[in-house]
Amino acid sequence: MTTTQKTPHYHFIGIGGMGMSALAIFCLQKGYRVSGSDLQSSELTSKLTKMGAHITHGHDAKNLTNADAVIYTSAMRKDNPEYQKALNQNIKIYHRAEFLAFLSKDYAELIAITGTHGKTTITSLLAHIMREAGLDPSFINGGLANNFTHHAHAGNSPYMIIEADESDASFLKIHPKHIIISNVDLDHMQTYQHEIKALIQSFANFALADNVSGEILIGSGSNSAYQLVERIKTHKPNALHYGLNNDMDIQITHFEQTTHHAKFDITITDKSYNDFISTLPGKHNAENTLAAIALCLMFGIAENTIKQALLSFKGIYRRFNHYQTTINNHSIELIDDYGHHPVEIQSTLDAVSQQFPHQRLIHIYQPHRYTRTRDLFHEFIGCLNSADIVILMRSYAASEDPIEGAHSLDLFNALTNKHPQCFYVDNNNEAKTLIDKLATAHDVVLVQGAGDIAHLVSLLS
């Protein structure tokens, strides 16, 4: 007598998002049936369709047929017709983080990367180094590393690397063995009652869970990070603090930025490892790289294998991607970056000044979310004031309703009192026209933001 096991069918509401598409790709690689819907087509939905997913544009109850489970995100409205149909028909419903926990539960060496910034970079570096070491790790990433075809991979080993999202505290649904907390800066403040203490406690709860029995690495030299380290080490003394300060358990020494590489030595609990060379610029990326190096050394990966993997790492889409282009017959350095938080912006600006110390900088930035602009308004003014020329593009709402006093124009009005060359544009075409007028030979043009400003780079290059 033979039995046939039904292939699971998963339906994703908002399948074209970066996080949801990664889950869908992973499911397709595992041989599961995948369907989904999104408001518009994109490169990601086209990729998923080619891989075998059935995708419908627009949300409608009829899109949901014969699914074993429905997956949604915190950004979805609860009156979504597909979600409501799933409720009415008692179809299993997973929040994205719950489904990520479900997919990863059988991996003995589950590694979760969380923190306010740097998650995608650390995840990508870990996946690349471990792959080069022959470990074939599975991963589900929040961005596309240029060394990989997809931002998810279903490997054949006990290792799995995942991004764990703190923005809605959903990372607490995931149960890893090893964790990296890259930093502790307040963002998505509504989730944490506008209190940094609540965010610190949330990260502490994540690290102190019984399932976290392996390595614990906490980054950043901020006061918040030091508070978190102290709270965790009280209960789990094996937790290690990493970064640039000489009182840390794992630290970078002798950092040097050149035009093409960052060079540094490291120490791990007083043992030295020298001559690491990274293709990623800036001290913030050196910290991200340090986390990946340290964890890989703890997993027994050879130092030379790690060094070779760092040299072959090709970066991540929209994370300080550097192009050379010509504008009005002038040679221009063009940098495309996803940063949308003041700490990320300042780190990128520092990296630009280290890599191109004597060149004029034109910085065009698109604010992302009215809540973030409102909550960090003065911090944005502080970091946006440093470029030679500043161009602000209209805000990208990311499904939020407008908030009075939190528009890009409000940032512009505040900056014009401090900055002699500050401009405002409404869209990418206006931005290109203005940059064409302003750019001169050897300028650096930094295009930055998490919204549709991403399309500006193709107009300029």
In the annotated binding site for ATP, the residues are 115-121
Distance CA 188, CA 190 (A): 6
Active-site annotation holder among 82, 109, 132, 163: 163
Reference 15, options 65, 62, 63; nearest CA is 63
Query: Residue type at 63?
Result: N
Do 445 and 435 contact (CB within 8 A), yes or no? yes
HSE value, Cβ hemisphere, 13 Å, CA-based, for 285: 32
Angular region, 243: left φ>0, alpha ψ -120 to 50, beta rest = left
**Element counts in the chain: helices (H) and strands (E):** 15, 21
Determine whether 138 is exposed, middle or buried from the number of CB atoms within 10 Å of its CB (0-12, 13-18, 19+).
buried
* Residues in binding site: 115-121
Distance CA 312, CA 393 (A): 35
Is residue 120 part of the annotated active site? The answer reads yes
Most distant CA atoms of the chain, gap in Å: 81
Q: Which helix (H) or strand (E) holds 250?
A: strand 250-257
- Percent helix, strand and coil across the chain, each to the nearest 5: 35, 25, 40
Q: Which is it for the CA torsion 240, 246, 252, 257, positive or negative?
A: positive
For residue 321 the two structure tokens come to: 């991607």
Is residue 4 part of the annotated active site? The answer reads no
Is residue 119 part of the annotated active site? The answer reads yes
Can you spell out the DSSP letters for 70-108?
EEE-TTS-TT-HHHHHHHHTT-EEEEHHHHHHHHHTT-T
| Antiparallel, parallel or unpaired: β 330-337 and 422-425 | unpaired
For residue 278 the two structure tokens come to: 């990274």
Do 183 and 144 contact (CB within 8 A), yes or no? no
Active-site annotation holder among 114, 120, 123, 348: 120
For residue 295 the two structure tokens come to: 């964890």
Active-site annotation holder among 85, 119, 132, 373: 119
Do 362 and 391 contact (CB within 8 A), yes or no? yes
Do 252 and 286 contact (CB within 8 A), yes or no? yes
Distance CA 303, CA 451 (A): 38
In sequence order, the 6+-apart residues with CB closer than 8 A to the CB of 423 are: 389, 390, 391, 392, 412, 434
The residues that are catalytic are 119-120, 163
